[in-house]
Each structure stands twice: as structure tokens, then as C-alpha cells.
């Protein structure tokens, strides 16, 4: 798989605050890669470093297998700050100015306005736009020239539920076009719905880096029940991956260490003379995994 971005142990301090601490990760072509973490975790600082807006104190990063350069930046679109356009100009006029600054063809304006569903408002002044529309226009500006990578910092921040849904659908649509997307967010639900891969940050440290699907497929707890609950409780402690149990009416909620297969679990108790009449897998959510990681980092 082609590596689009490689980050090797970058660090950045602001006084005594370690905004980013020896962060290493990779983003591959076609991924929707999320930087997930609470405010102050280092997400925006990381994005600012890889865009060349600020310098890291140590470490390095590369774009498309090469050191960052003006040529590599031309292949990247980004929305880092709040949408900032001329309020008295129309959407089309604002984009025309940005196209001139970026040395992009004005013929691309129609395409990006249609992509973000603002073509029907192309001749309306920016000041008449809702916040969600302003955010979509900013994304349109970042897409001028067909960049291979799109970087978004908290793209749904401050939006109402309808605006959040619109931005989410837009990001997924852009990803289907083959654009690699890197976004920062503190919203677990949005990352879970949008991203294919995620790096969890807290206080400048990376706590987890991997495939969102793998996180969601981890099932480390089960509901177990049988006719002989006392015997089941004793045998559970003999299982090599047993961690803990919580008693509930007519069942135990059991936590295991690592991933475990339901059929394997059923077979273990059958060999011990226990026939389970209740066996339900409890899926772990990204939120549970995230909170566990933050708790361990306290």
C-alpha cells in the first residue's frame, strides 16, 4: 500500500507543555485517517507541522515518499482554521480569488461548487451563508485543483446535527473519489462513522494507532448463563483469559483479556460439563476503547 504521509518521532513544546511528544504514524493512500483526542491533545499542532505552518523541534515527516516541498504541498488541500472569506463577495467570487492565489484554473470552480452542493448559491454573498455552508465553501476552496490529500481540522465543530450530517456525507463522498483524507476531531461518533483508521492522542502522546474496524471488532466481554450458575462462576476463573465478572439476573457479564471466539468459549465450558443456555457477545465501541486509553494515560 502506497504511503502518503510518514511521521517519524516529531515533537513540539510550548513552554512546559509538550504539545506533541515523539509522534510516529503513517497514512496510506485511500485512507480516511482520524486524529482523535480531547482539546489540547496535540491534533491541531500535528496538522500544522505536516502542513509546514509551524516547525517541529525534533523528528521528521515526508509526503509521498519524499521530503516536504512546494511541489508536495500543491498535492494537498486543507482547512485548518474557521472559514475566512470576503463577506461582501459571492461564493464564486471568493473561490475565484483563491484559485488565482493557488494558480488554479477558474474552470474548476463549477466542479467544486457542485461537489459541496453550493452551485445553486454560487452568486449569493458569503455573509448570507449559514455556518455549515461556510464550512462547505471552505472545503470547496481546498478541493480546487483536485488535490490527492485533504486535511481537515475539526470539520464539524460548531455545527448543528443537520450540518454535521452534511459534512459527514461530503467527506465520505470525497473519499469515494479516491482522495486520501486526514482529519482531526474530538467527536468519537464522527470518527467512528467516517474514518477507516485512527490515531488516538492525549497530552501530546499517541495512545493507539490502527484500523477502526479492528478496534470495533474487539469483543472482550460476554454474557454467559446456564442452569448451574455457581459451578459456572468457579469454572470461569479457570479460563486462561479470564479477567473479571459481574453478576446479573440469570447471567454473568464476563470480561476476558484480549479477543476471544464465542465458539471457543462455548467449547471450553462444554468440555468442563457445562452447557450454556445463554451466550451473547458484547461489542466494544470506539468510545469504550478511547476512554480506556485515556484512563490508562492519567
Q: What is the pLDDT of residue 294?
A: 63
Cell matching residue 119 = 452551485
CA gap 174, 166 in Å, rounded: 12
Q: State residue 245's pLDDT score.
A: 80
Q: How far apart are CA 99 and CA 93, in angstroms?
A: 10
43-59 burial by CB neighbour count: b if 16+ within 10 A, else e?
Answer: bbbbbbbbbeeeebeeb
User: Looking at residue 275, what is its pLDDT?
Assistant: 93
CATH architecture classification, 3-215:
3-Layer(aba) Sandwich (3.40)
**Burial class, 202, CB count within 10 angstroms (exposed 0-12 / middle 13-18 / buried 19+):** buried
The whole-number pLDDT of residue 14 equals: 92
- pLDDT tens-place values along the chain, 298 residues long: 899 999 999 999 999 889 999 999 999 999 999 999 888 899 999 999 999 999 999 999 999 999 999 999 999 999 997 778 999 999 999 999 999 988 888 889 999 999 999 999 999 999 999 999 999 999 999 999 999 999 999 999 888 889 999 999 999 999 999 999 999 998 888 888 899 999 989 889 998 888 887 666 555 678 899 999 999 988 998 888 887 788 888 888 887 776 778 888 899 999 999 999 999 887 666 666 666 666 666 6
Q: What residue ranges of the chain are covered by domains with CATH 3.40.50.300?
A: 3-215
Residue extent(s) of CATH 3.30.70.100 domains in the chain? 220-282
- The reported pLDDT for the residue numbered 217 is 56
Predicted local confidence at residue 260, as pLDDT: 79
The pLDDT, as a whole number, for residue 257 is 73
Entry pTM: 0.78
Determine contact, residues 63/180, Cβ cutoff 8 Å: no
Query: Can you read off the three cell numbers belonging to residue 8?
Result: 517519524
Nearest CA among 176, 134, 24, 143 for reference residue 76: 143
SS3 sequence, the chain?
Answer: CCEEEEEEEEEEEECCEEEEEEEEEEEECCCEEEEECCCCCCHHHHHHHHCCCCCCCEEEEEECCECCCHHHHCCEEEECCCCCCCCCCEHHHHHHHHHHHHCCCHHHHHHHHHHCCCHHHCCCEHHHCCHHHHHHHHHHHHCCCCCCEEEEECCCCCCCHHHHHHHHHHHHHHHHCCCEEEEEECCHHHHHHHCCEEEEEECCEEEEEEEHHHHHHCCCEEEEEECCHHHHHHHHCCCCCEEEEEEECCEEEEEECCCCCHHHHHHHHHHCCCCEEEEEEECCCHHHHHHHHHHHCC
User: What pLDDT does 289 receive?
Assistant: 63
Per CATH, the architecture of 220-282 is what? 2-Layer Sandwich (3.30)
- Looking at residue 216, its pLDDT comes to 60
CB-CB contact of 179 with 149 (8 Å):
yes
Amino acid at each position: 500500500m502506497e504511503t502518503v504521509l510518514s511521521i517519524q518521532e516529531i515533537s513540539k513544546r510550548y513552554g512546559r507543555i509538550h504539545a506533541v511528544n515523539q509522534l510516529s504514524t503513517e497514512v496510506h493512500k485511500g485512507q480516511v485517517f482520524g486524529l482523535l483526542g480531547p482539546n489540547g491533545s496535540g491534533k491541531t499542532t500535528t496538522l500544522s507541522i505536516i502542513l509546514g505552518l509551524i516547525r517541529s523541534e525534533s523528528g521528521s515527516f515526508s509526503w509521498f515518499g519524499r521530503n516536504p516541498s512546494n511541489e508536495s504541498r500543491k498535492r494537498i488541500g486543507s482547512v485548518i482554521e474557521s472559514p475566512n472569506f470576503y463577506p461582501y463577495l459571492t461564493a464564486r467570487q471568493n473561490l475565484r480569488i483563491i484559485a488565482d492565489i493557488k494558480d488554479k484554473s477558474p474552470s474548476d470552480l463549477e466542479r467544486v461548487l457542485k461537489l459541496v452542493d453550493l452551485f445553486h448559491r454560487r452568486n449569493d454573498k458569503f455573509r448570507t451563508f449559514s455556518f455549515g455552508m461556510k464550512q462547505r465553501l471552505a472545503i470547496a476552496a481546498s478541493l480546487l485543483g483536485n488535490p490527492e490529500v485533504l486535511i481537515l481540522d475539526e470539520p464539524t465543530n460548531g455545527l448543528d446535527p443537520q450540518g454535521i450530517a452534511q459534512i459527514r456525507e461530503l467527506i465520505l463522498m470525497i473519499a469515494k473519489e479516491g482522495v486520501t483524507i486526514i482529519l482531526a476531531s474530538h467527536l468519537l461518533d464522527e470518527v467512528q462513522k467516517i474514518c477507516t483508521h485512527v490515531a488516538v492522542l492525549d497530552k501530546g502522546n499517541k495512545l493507539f494507532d490502527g484500523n477502526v474496524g479492528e478496534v470495533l471488532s474487539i469483543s472482550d466481554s460476554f454474557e454467559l448463563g446456564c442452569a448451574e450458575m455457581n459451578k459456572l462462576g468457579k469454572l470461569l476463573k479457570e479460563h486462561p483469559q479470564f479477567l473479571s465478572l459481574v453478576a446479573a439476573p440469570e447471567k454473568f457479564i464476563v470480561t476476558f483479556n484480549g479477543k476471544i471466539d464465542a465458539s471457543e468459549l462455548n467449547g471450553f465450558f462444554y468440555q468442563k460439563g457445562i452447557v450454556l443456555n445463554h451466550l451473547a457477545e458484547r461489542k466494544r465501541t470506539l468510545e469504550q476503547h478511547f476512554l480506556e486509553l485515556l484512563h490508562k494515560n492519567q
